[in-house]
Structure 1
Amino acid sequence: MTHTYKITGMTCNGCRTSVENTLNAIEAVREAKVHLDQEEAIITMDSHIPTTTLQKALPEKYTITEKKDSTVHNDVNNAFAKAEPKKSKLQQLQPLLIILAYIAVATALLNYNRANWDEAMLDFMGLFFIVFSFFKILDLKGFPESFRMYDPLAKFLPAYGWLYPFIETILGLMFLMRLEIPIALVVTLIILGITTIGVTKTLLDKKSIQCACLGTALKLPMTEATFIENAIMIVMAAIMLSAYL
């Protein structure tokens, strides 16, 4: 069943992301889509959820009420949903895959005449962190809200969500400039390890939330690709750290 609700209190895309992720995290919510301009949320649920339950899940500054004409509105939305083809996971993750491909090509060009590809791994990790931190910094208000929906440390310590993009920037510079590489590798293993735990739990719970790996500028779903992306970086960091020990 699908219901349409009016939501007041949203002032930016960060608010929209926060509300959408909060609603998607509620049990029995199959999918929630929030529109900032229309100040509304379209929620598909497995069983009826009282409006009071939705309100309790949201921060106090947001007010949610069910629209009286939601039945008519839902019919229209359902008609459009049937007419509009659903994107496959590959199509949804296209921006992420393109960015990773560009990073890989840039790494290859920087290291094509080197015999030791350990240097290439450091360059890849450095470019990865710099590029991904850039997208997160584009929306410093929205990113922490999205990030804490699945990162265990960000849930416990909200300030960590604000600092995370800058931690990635610093790590990127350390890898590219070859500064204190062992320390950078250990920090990489710690922060990506924590995030991967949260990603794994989200995938196992089959929650439909937005991945914050590229901030909130690009809407990417949380999928197995997010896990694989983190796993690759963790494996690379472990290999490089073993070489330094």
Structure 2
Amino acid sequence: MKHIYRIEGMTCSSCIANVVKSLGSLDNVTDVKVNLENKEAEITMSKHIGLSDLQNVLQEKYTISEKTPVKKVASNTFSDFEIAQEKSKFVQLKPLFLILLYITVTSILLHYKDWSWREFMLDFMGLFYIVFSFFKMLDLKGFPDSFRMYDPLAKKVPVYAKVYPFIETALGLMFLLRFEVKIALIITLIVLGITTIGVTKTLLDKKAIRCACLGTALKLPMTEATFIENAIMIVMAILMLIS
């Protein structure tokens, strides 16, 4: 049984994480999907839960009200809620595509006179980490909540989510300065490998959550683009380790 509720008071990815965690803690709640733009939460229940019970588990700043129930649809169709999300994916991911384009072009320009694939990849990875960690640094308080929603290690070790932006910064500097590159490559495989496992599970479960790759400053949905972004870095790390 699915119901859509309107939730007032949500302002960022941290709010989404809090709402999903709180509502998901209730017995008989099997799934929670939150849409920040529409201020809506789609809750799947095995047994009906009263509105007052839902409100009780939420923080005081959030107010929940019931909308219309979502009818079951055939397995090869999508609800209007899902279709609207799909249509807006490209627009929402535009900042991510632009950042990756700038990083790629910059890395090419640094070596176009004396081309080297290895040097290009090292600079790409270094700039990737520095730029992405910068956006995470903008909200060090809110980022851990968003990151813990899908990263397996961050869920079990909360402090890992707090230090993750600093890990990315350190890796970026190691690549750009060509300092202990092999160690940086191994750490990259471990760190991004763990995150990719969480991203893959989120995509397979079709959960509508925010990606924390650019922190909470930019509201990016968790999509296949997040998986591809991590996969590119992992492939580069493997190629350099075996070359």
Tell me the TM-score range normalised by the shorter chain. Answer: 0.7 to 0.9
The alpha-carbon distance between structure 1 residues 71 and 190, as it changes in their structure 2 partners (threshold 3 A), is: closer
Structure 2 match to 1:27: 30
What is the alpha-carbon distance in structure 2 between the residues aligned to residue 228 and residue 161 of structure 1? 21
Q: 1:66 to 1:170 in 2, by over 3 A?
A: closer
- Tell me the matched-pair count: 220
SS at match of 2:36: strand
The DSSP-based 3-state class of the residue aligned with 1:29 is strand
**C-alpha spacing 1:5/1:129, structure 2 compared with 1 (3 Å):** closer
Q: 1:167 to 1:89 in 2, by over 3 A?
A: same
TM-score for the superposition, normalised by structure 1: 0.79
- Shift of the 125–21 alpha-carbon distance from structure 1 to 2, 3 Å rule, reads farther
Question: CA-atom RMSD, angstroms?
Answer: 2.8
Return the TM-score normalized by structure 2: 0.79
Question: Structure 2: which amino acid aligns with 1:160?
Answer: Y
Give the secondary structure class of the aligned counterpart of 1:115.
Answer: coil
User: Which structure 1 residue ranges, 5 or more long, are not aligned?
Assistant: 36-40, 73-80
Instruction: Give runs of aligned pairs for residues 1-245 of structure 1, distance below 5 A.
Output: 1-5=3-7, 13=12, 15-22=14-21, 27-33=30-36, 42-46=40-44, 48-51=48-51, 52=53, 55-56=56-57, 66-67=64-65, 87-243=87-243
Deviates more, 1:106-115 or 1:217-226: 106-115
Contact 2:16 2:34 (8 Å CA) reproduced: no
Amino acid at match of 2:15: R
| Structure-1 separation of matches of 2:233 and 2:204 | 21
Instruction: Measure the CA separation in 2 of the matches of 1:182 and 1:212.
Output: 26
Query: Quick one: which amino acid aligns to residue 42 of structure 1?
Result: E
Query: In 2 relative to 1, CA 21–3 (structure 1 residues): closer, same or farther, beyond 3 Å?
Result: closer
2:179 partner SS = coil
- Cα gap change, 1:158/1:55 in structure 2, threshold over 3 Å: closer, same or farther? farther
- CA deviation after TM superposition for structure 1 residue 114, in Å: 1.7
- 1:241 aligned counterpart, secondary structure: helix
Cα deviation digits, residues 61-106 of structure 1 (max 9, x gap): 6575544xx569xxxxxxxx99xx7643221210100000000010
> Secondary structure of the equivalent of 2:34?
strand
The code of the aligned residue for 1:233 comes to: M
Verify the 8 A CA contact 2:8 2:62 in the aligned structure 1.
yes
Distance 2:56 2:221 in 1: 24
Match of residue 75 from structure 2 = none
Deviation at residue 28 of structure 1 after TM alignment? 3.9
Structure 2: which 5+ runs fail to align? 69-79
Report the alpha carbon displacement of residue 17 of structure 1 after superposing the two structures with TM.
3.9
Hey, what's the Cα distance between the residues in 1 that align with 2:33 and 2:157?
Answer: 28
Q: How far apart, in 2, do the equivalents of 1:90 and 1:13 lie?
A: 20
